[in-house]
Amino acid sequence: MAYFIEPGFIIFIFCYMGYIFSLCSFCRKYLDNPGQDKKVFAALVFLSELFISVINSSRHIPYIIFKIISYILTAILVFTGFSDNAAKKFSATVILITIKTLVLNFGCSFASCIVLSVSILAGGNVSGILEGAENLVSAFSYMLVILVFGILIKSPYNIFNGKIKGWYFTMSVPLIFVVLIMDIVNWGASNGIVVSAGRTGGYGIYYNQVYSEAAICILALLSACIAGGFVYGMDKIYTKQRQNEWYYAQNEFYKMLTKQYMQMDRLQHDMKNHLLSLYGLLENKELKKALAYLENMFETGNILPGSEITGNKVIDILIYNKKKQAGQDNIRMECIICIPKNCIITGFDLCVIFGNILDNAINACKKIQDSSYKFISIECQKVKKCLILAARNGTIIKDIKKIKKGTGFYNINETVKKYNGTVNIKIENNIFEISILLPVYTADIT
């Protein structure tokens, strides 16, 4: 006895497996530090989706219970499969559910409208979609989900990067309401509550079904546009706010450095008097008082014996502060910096570049356990008509894309582009390297 497998079912299985693969890829891109092997995670996703499908096919389980079970399973997969913070995983779960709910509803309703309309035009007398056509409708819907996931996976845009916990919850709440509305509509459709076209007799039930599917299709499309626009807008607002906060912080930091620079100038201006005081203390053999007096001078001018002389006093103070900060965390820091006096790069922009490089390096070294990698090396010198800066530090990060998406690298890159310069970064053997080339005698600054 030969068994015939309906072609639509084969297409549906193929698309369904593609959907599971794309879901796993989406999770692994946007969620860091996987707690499970990717094959194990894919297998768990497949089993959970299979379980959801079995529940969905059962007529004894109410629609609302089925949806709650499916959402709980999705949350369990995300929370157990990754080791990010709970707020980020909660947000990722909500976005996964939103994409699946809205895209599947749109795809199923759109394809159903097409199939039913073709049946009407062909003069059919069927009160619903045939079994073979149902498989094709489902396959089409999952293809759309794969397409959406694929676009998000390939996109460099990352809404999960560098957000605070409050942002994740604020962004998730409206999406939950959108999904809830869509589920209520589906619950109504599953209980025979459909949008009526007001047509009776003949193909009235047919027209009513087409009308109902079209209404769900439009609702799903509008909901998807609203949800996508809301998430994109929230991210833009957050990014703009962070940039404004960064600019304010950098400006205040620059003012602080300028103030310290003025203190150094005053110290140098009063150096003759200081030397006379020191001479008197030493002549009276009051060594402790002389030492305390020297330390007070160093602290007032924010300098230490052996401090780096870069050619820019504001950068001198910045390097001193960062070196002191690194020393508190047992991080070795070496600096060889020479900035030309006629450099066209402003002191503020130099602070942005050096400050962000050193802040990122210090933060990276803090996370390292191996003391041999807790180091920072930074060199800067003029070569012909360019200023070349090279910095190296230990790191536990292996994905260079994660660094490029960080606020620190963005600030550096934007400042370098202002002077028509270039930035290159690489990670090799747990060593992060950044090299910057800046034309210092070019007048055409954008």
pLDDT digits (tens, 9 = 90+) for 276-327: 666 677 777 777 777 777 777 666 555 544 444 677 777 887 888 888 888 8
Nearest to 294 by CA among 285, 283, 305, 306: 305
pLDDT tens digits for range 371-391: 888 999 999 888 888 889 999
pLDDT of 446: 42
pLDDT of 392: 93
pLDDT less than 70: residues of the chain: 1-8, 32-37, 56-59, 119-132, 156-158, 162, 189-208, 242-279, 297-309, 405-407, 441-446
- Residue written as token pair 């490029």: 404
One-letter amino acid for residue 48 of the chain: S
pLDDT of 202: 47
- In SS3 terms, 199-232 reads as CCCCCHHHHHHHHHHHHHHHHHHHHHHHHHHHHH
pLDDT of 88: 85
Half-sphere exposure (Cβ direction) of 212: Cα atoms closer than 13 Å: 21
Contact (CB, 8 A) for 162 and 30: no
Nearest to 120 by CA among 205, 45, 186, 230: 205
Containing 78, the helix (H) or strand (E) segment is helix 63-81
Cα–Cα distance between 315 and 378 in angstroms, integer? 13
| 322 CB burial (10 A radius; 0-12, 13-18, 19+) | buried
Kindly give, in sequence order, each residue whose CB lies less than 8 Å from that of residue 358, ignoring residues fewer than 6 positions away: 318, 319, 322, 326, 376, 378, 391
Helix (H, G, I), strand (E, B) or coil at 130: coil
